[in-house]
Amino acid sequence: MTAIVFSGLQPTGTLHIGNYFGAVQNFVKLQTQYKCYYAIVDYHAITVEHDPEELRRNTLEMGMDLLACGLDPRQCVLFVQSQVPEHTELAWILSAVTSYGDLQRMTQFKEKGEGQEFVSCGLFTYPVLQAADILAYKASKVPVGEDQVQHIELTRRIARRFNSRFGETFPEPEVLLSEALRIMSPAEPTRKMSKSLGPKHYIAITESEDSIREKIKTAVTDIGPRPDTNEKSPGVANLFLLLKLTAPKEIYDQFEDDYARGVLKYEPLKRAVADYLVKTLEPIRARRAQLKEAEVREILIEGARTARAVARRTLEEVRERIGVGRVVL
């Protein structure tokens, strides 16, 4: 039987190269090998303050970005999470087999909640909804960046507890990591690339060539290697990673060699990173410009229809197992 893959992305505006190299590039590869479900997770995005109009817009934009990156609706199911209400129903059910202590240990909750005046209960239970996303399709493989690994481990524990209480129902999904575990912010390379830090901290997949060149040119490199080791500084390591992901191996090896010999100059390194990044993103930008909104909406509606039929079957089974729904006299 073909394995089932699930992954999700929050509709936080534009897709950045951290999302792309950390996850989406893998989505594209996997769609030809497995049965893949990819969701734009709008219900996750409401756990922090948001503007409704912007969320609606971003949801569609994210669909366009994903299609531009190469997701093919003939090969995978692409949909918007809120259009399949079974996710939220399953999240409630799974919350009953999720340990409160486990949720308290989630580092992303701590990071996102820190310093906020209002921390929603939804932000706390967010990983349960994530588990429901995955388990509604009985997915066994989840391609994500490194920051999501803890959430997938929790999903495994939730699946295990459900199975041991109610009988074998869910697989314990495994994480599929790409080579780009974690792309860092060019402006502050000790922090993960993320939209929420502001425009200096991320490079969008649709960013203009000038802007990409400027961000790479001004990328921070001079924090220096740790004095006790010969390790690259975080900024230099990030540039090398981007080069590895975009340039031919000989070019990459040449720069590694220069580094090892202590003759590396940042300027040519940065120029090469910018050149190859621009080249890699160019076809995505071109495809993005050709997409029509109406066409994308249709794809998302059709995707939700397909996804819902599967999620509905899982929910029927789950309700039966936990003893709700059918009134027994």
Residue 232 to residues 35, 189, 224, 240, 282, Cα–Cα distance (Å): 39, 12, 7, 9, 29
- Candidates 14, 18, 68, 311: give the one binding ligand TYM (CB under 6 A): 18
Task: Report the C-alpha gap between 80 and 37 in whole angstroms.
Answer: 11
Structure tokens at 117: 């005046």
Name which of residues 101 to 130 contact ligand TYM (CB under 6 A).
130
Q: Are 95 and 128 contacting, i.e. CB atoms less than 8 angstroms apart?
A: yes
Stretch that binds ligand TYM, among 141-149, 253-261, 274-282, 289-297 (CB under 6 A): 141-149
Name which of residues 159 to 188 contact ligand TYM (CB under 6 A).
180, 182-183
User: Which of residues 70 and 254 has its CB atom nearest to ligand TYM in the complex?
Assistant: 70
Residue nearest to ligand TYM (CB): 22
Alpha helices in the chain (DSSP H): 17-19, 25-30, 42-45, 52-69, 86-95, 100-104, 107-113, 121-135, 149-166, 209-217, 234-246, 249-260, 266-290, 293-322
19 binds ligand TYM (CB under 6 A): yes
- Candidates 23, 128, 236, 277: give the one binding ligand TYM (CB under 6 A): 23
- The CB-of-46 to ligand TYM minimum distance in angstroms stands at 12
Task: Report the C-alpha gap between 167 and 169 in whole angstroms.
Answer: 6
Instruction: List, by residue number, the catalytic residues.
Output: 112, 192, 195
User: Which of residues 89 and 147 has its CB atom nearest to ligand TYM in the complex?
Assistant: 147
Name which of residues 230 to 269 contact ligand TYM (CB under 6 A).
none
Task: Report the C-alpha gap between 18 and 329 in whole angstroms.
Answer: 55
- Candidates 35, 138, 192, 308: give the one binding ligand TYM (CB under 6 A): 192
Alpha helices in 167-233 (DSSP H): 209-217
Task: Report the C-alpha gap between 293 and 295 in whole angstroms.
Answer: 5
144 binds ligand TYM (CB under 6 A): yes
- The CB-of-192 to ligand TYM minimum distance in angstroms stands at 4
- Candidates 4, 5, 9, 212: give the one binding ligand TYM (CB under 6 A): 9
CA 97-98-102 angle, to 5 degrees, is 150
- The CB-of-327 to ligand TYM minimum distance in angstroms stands at 33
203 binds ligand TYM (CB under 6 A): no
Task: Report the C-alpha gap between 322 and 165 in whole angstroms.
Answer: 9
145 binds ligand TYM (CB under 6 A): yes
193 binds ligand TYM (CB under 6 A): yes
